[in-house]
Structure 1
Amino acid sequence: MDAFSLTNKTILITGASSGIGRSCSVECSNSGANLILVGRNEEELMKTASLLNPGTKVEIIAEDITHSERLEAIIAEKVAVLGKVSGFIHCAGIEKTLPLKKHSVQLYHDIFEINVIAGFEMAKILSLKKYKEETSSFVFISSVAGMVGEAGKAAYSASKGAVIAGTRSLAMELSRGNIRVNSISPAMVNTPILEKMFEDLGEDASSEIIKKHPLGIGEPKDVANACIFLLSDAARWVTGSNLVIDGGYSAQ
């Protein structure tokens, strides 16, 4: 059997309504997985569902995962329909580029709430035996901003650094339950978030950022393919790692 296949695996993906989360959903579907798509915008989740391989079984959770009291109950419902979860990708996140003097306590709270806490809370639920397959794999989307410094990104970088560090601790703790935990750190990827950032920065600043990527700006599929590897049996001996997918950005 193909070790990279996700056939018969149920994968839960947060942030599935756009960008990297949408691409992960499509590529996991193409690799044979059944999916639980999580996001705030039901219409966009339905759009993601329409892009999936026709044979894919899919369930949708349209909730704000930072404030949902019913999250575990909803997951229990979906597991009852699709079967236990063997993979989880936390793609949900927000990015803000602001000078330090414009950072507020609320900004730190907002960014950490979705980028870090919501993902770890989801992992807590999905690590329970009643919801997970005998072996499972959790993947957190971090960022090269969690590894290298960048002006205007204090809160965002801190949150992504927390994801990398937290992932290592989760890997140590959850290995006894046959759960592998890894993070992926992309550089700039062609998503709606990036388009908005380039609009705000202007042409000159944007082209400077593009030049810092020796292989150019990435596509969401580049990150999705790395997720498929980490979710698959091909990565059965990989845990506590941070896989850098950045077109050479951090090699400089």
Structure 2
Amino acid sequence: MTFKNKVVWITGASSGIGKGLALELSKLNCKLILSARNTQTLIEVKNACGNSENIKILPFDLAHYANMKLVVEDALKLFGRVDILINNGGISQRSPIIETSIDVDKKLMEIDYLGTIALSKALLPHFVANQTGHYVVVSSIMGKFSSPLRSAYCGAKHALHGFFDALRLEHDKDQLKVTMICPGFVNTDVARNALIADGSKQGYQDEMTENGLDVDVFVKRMLKAIRKEKYEAYIGKFEAFGVYIKRFFPKLLHKLVLRSKVN
């Protein structure tokens, strides 16, 4: 698969991985739609990209998942089609289960899960009508196994795998592709913006995230996985091995996570 002449729609494009994707994809002779909540930040990302005449911005909030049909209608007006949807938008969480308000769990599910699948379902008829389309979903290593202090985040990311595995099966006949991208630690602001027990932001970086992959390194590996149309790609330093340890030695992974600095 090539990105040349494709229309690629990126959510969560205002910072971190989404911004890194925009910067890299703008070099690859494709058209981009950049989405996030903050219009001004999206404009800044667009202006930082090369080939900005082939970039449009479409601000919206994933939490408003009832509006996704209208959002898709607006997206299709920009270039007439969408070829690849990169579901990158979302938030994280850092708090003990016993202290965490159920409102935090609800917000994580609304944004990370319901917002993502509502957008994907709204775009689905377009993909089916064209008999082509590629969903790329930025999940997490935490979508394959869990760790302390991330219960709501892990729950939402695990749910994404269940939904998109079903979508891949149902629409194999329509030539649709699904690639689940599972980052380990990437040096972004995800920890600073993570919700704590009362729903406020954590506000500081954690050591594991700060020592994670640089965004540009991660993005290059991610785009390689998309080109290869992989079903799943685990991208990190050492932490990706946890997926395989969980599969064959779940008790060992339990002990390793407890001993690590992840929490």
1:175 maps onto 2:165 in alignment? no
* Over 6 Å off, 4+ runs: none
Alignment pair present for 1:221 and 2:216: yes
Tell whether 2:244 aligns with 1:249.
no
Aligned to 2:259: none
- Which residue of structure 2 lines up, in the alignment, with residue 87 of structure 1? 84
| Count of residue pairs brought into register by the alignment | 236
1:48 aligns with 2:45: yes
Partner in structure 1 of residue 12 of structure 2? 15
Q: 1: distance between equivalents of 2:78 and 2:89?
A: 23
Greater relative contact order (Cα < 8 A, sep 6+) = 1
Structure 2: distance between partners of 1:79 and 1:210: 36
The residue that corresponds to 1:38 in the other structure is 35
Which residue of 121, 125, 135 maps to 1:124? 121
- CA gap of 1:70–1:119, structure 2 versus 1, over 3 A, is closer
Shift of 1:248: 1.8
Q: d(CA) in 1 for partners of 2:215 and 2:128?
A: 28
More strand by share: 1
1:52-81, Cα deviation, whole Å (9 max, x unpaired): 222551221111132165432343233233
Q: Which amino acid aligns with 1:220?
A: V
Which one-letter code corresponds to 2:54 in the other structure?
Answer: K
Q: Within 2, Cα distance between the matches of 1:184 and 1:80?
A: 28
* Amino acid of the structure 2 residue aligned with 1:154: S
Q: Normalised by the size of structure 2, how large is the TM-score?
A: 0.80
Q: What is the aligned partner in structure 2 of residue 75 from structure 1?
A: 72
How many percent identity over aligned positions?
A: 22
Q: What TM-score, normalized by structure 1, do the two folds share?
A: 0.83
Q: CA deviation at 1:133?
A: 4.5
Task: Tell me by how many angstroms 1:177 deviates.
Answer: 1.8
Instruction: Name which of structure 1's ranges 5-14 and 221-230 shifts more when overlaid on structure 2.
Output: 221-230
Task: Identify the match of residue 28 of structure 1 among 16, 21, 25.
Answer: 25
For the pair 1:135 / 2:156, whether they are aligned, the reply is: no
CA RMSD of aligned residues (A): 2.6
Q: Are the equivalent residues in 2 in contact too, given 1:79–1:131 (CA < 8 A)?
A: no
* Unpaired runs of at least 5, structure 1: none
Measure how far apart 1:151 and its partner are: 1.0
- CA distances 1:30-67 after superposition (whole Å, capped 9, x unpaired): 22221111111001111111122225512211111321
The offset of 1:130, in angstroms, is 7.1
